[in-house]
Structure 1
């Protein structure tokens, strides 16, 4: 079966855009090859989800935004997210391009690179070329191919060998123009024995339909530690499709913290490839669905190295007529002896029309391993509600306490206080508290 992919741009126009942006020849060729692939590939096949019925073709065109002279000029819709960041390391993307970049001087002095990806390909081309599109491959499906062809703005973070960064580096990515393409690419490279925390927020402020086609690639060197926290709070008008991949070398660690707080249809796939011996992955996902949202969340750990632990926890709350598919996939390859893969997916439904489906999957090709899973889908336990009401608590407050208790195992483990508070606020907003 073949699927006709609607290309949002032709090869000549894409080539002209690349040249006018001053991109190196290797990147222009990469874009054109990906565009050619996109015309041949089908949409990704998602479990029990008809993504072909979603708004996955409304890319818009490339529209550069005016750079900020100072942080106080930032759009009002993201002011709360960037307060107290005058001295910190921060990148802001608005629609098709980055409008603000700041790297703390002490980090620059240690050789840290933190800039938009379009600048990085010009100033650090050899380094970027070594990693770009090596974890999220353009030939996976048409959405990945179109991303590789059309990506704009984005973030490039490189942490040199033995550099330990204590303060999180942050990015805010805003889409507020329905006619502007919003296809950011995040590329994080942590060299041997380095350590870094990166946090980003995706925000929309518009009333017309649009698409976010995003990709994240994280490369964790031997003995390195990367904590990657991301919160998506895009509006009902924006369809969000995001693929995240981490490749982890010997004794490296990747920690994912994902807050899925969108109001529109959302598909995300977060995968850790435990390539090296002793490498590890920990993924925490919290999601709240409302309205008539269609949601599909997949978390994966693929074990190649020996002695590789992975843990995945997803908690999702569905209200109104929202529906969700929650997939957890642990794949232990032949030779990955003493791997330990654990996963838990739980969905709480708050209304008769809400739907949830939790699918734990273990794929094991090695004998000397440990693996386990737990999954549940259910409604609020009204025996608990009545018990709390018998103690003088109102029904509304009793249900709220139960919901927060359901989410607490994920929220309480988030080590960043600011992110915990932000997620708590977003949960309250989505639940109409």
Structure 2
């Protein structure tokens, strides 16, 4: 039985005699569609017909008449039709062109990249957006960033006009604050007071980036992703035509949209040509890791050297046995060990293992077992699903023997999605 789909049929009516740059125009249209990524189109010879000028063209009665009708039929996803049809405008001239939705029993279409549909930033952004004013105290802004689980916070006027952006990068550069808001939230009031002693009362205006970028409501998702990567923000503000902040687009929203589109595609009775990109082609093979047999101080040094403040733990045969993060270390350490680790977290440069606590002591007590994993042949959408489901920054890629092969991090996955959307 035929089912509902987003497949549309385009019919273009023209004559065989129509010319384009010395050749048949219908062939030029077919070639343009082929080169532009259309799934498929066919030129059909009509037996007889007439158009608005009432001239009769016949392929039977007048075999020498080159003026008989031609119909080009092209079936594709509606987003592909909307993208390609305007590029044919010059070739089409005054031809009759019809577009209609068609039920599909089964079909095989050209593989499409992610985010190739009609949905844009306004459809997937987070709203209402978080925001603070320029005179907000930094400690208040940090608490909001931790509560909302964001790494970038718009700074706005009372009318929500954007005047700046406060990000983790700004905190490190201008406030010398190297603890992410989510880690600050795990400190005791006394610890937090000591870490923020010099900056707690500082107004956000002295730390924010005043020239931060934003994207518009109608921006295409791939374009917004490219801006996010170029500017180095985990989230970017979305503004309306008046410059008011109306939403935020972040990695979570993008990955959820990828999952939604994958679920919709799986429900269609339409197959795609080619195979999806496997994880091993885009994974990061160089991984911050530590052996379970190492001492606690070595593990902490490796952890502090990791940009994500998260490392994977393997046994002597390279099999994954767990992970260690700054968050789990803070929760698991106590007394002088915790104080020394917190001091190292706040330092401008990570200290050597020799000055960290835990010599000749195991770190198994603070190890987080059973981290999320995927296989090297899994799809990118499977990696996105794990990142969202487990709310983690990276997922380990392992083989059938649980040996660590690499990782898929949020940033790396976003960059891979941008490349596939080009």
**Which of the five TM-score ranges fits, normalised by the shorter chain?**
under 0.3
Higher relative contact order (CA 8 A, sep 6+): 2
- The structure whose residues are more often strand, as a share, is 1
Q: Which structure has the larger Rg over C-alpha atoms?
A: 2
- The structure whose residues are more often helix, as a share, is 2
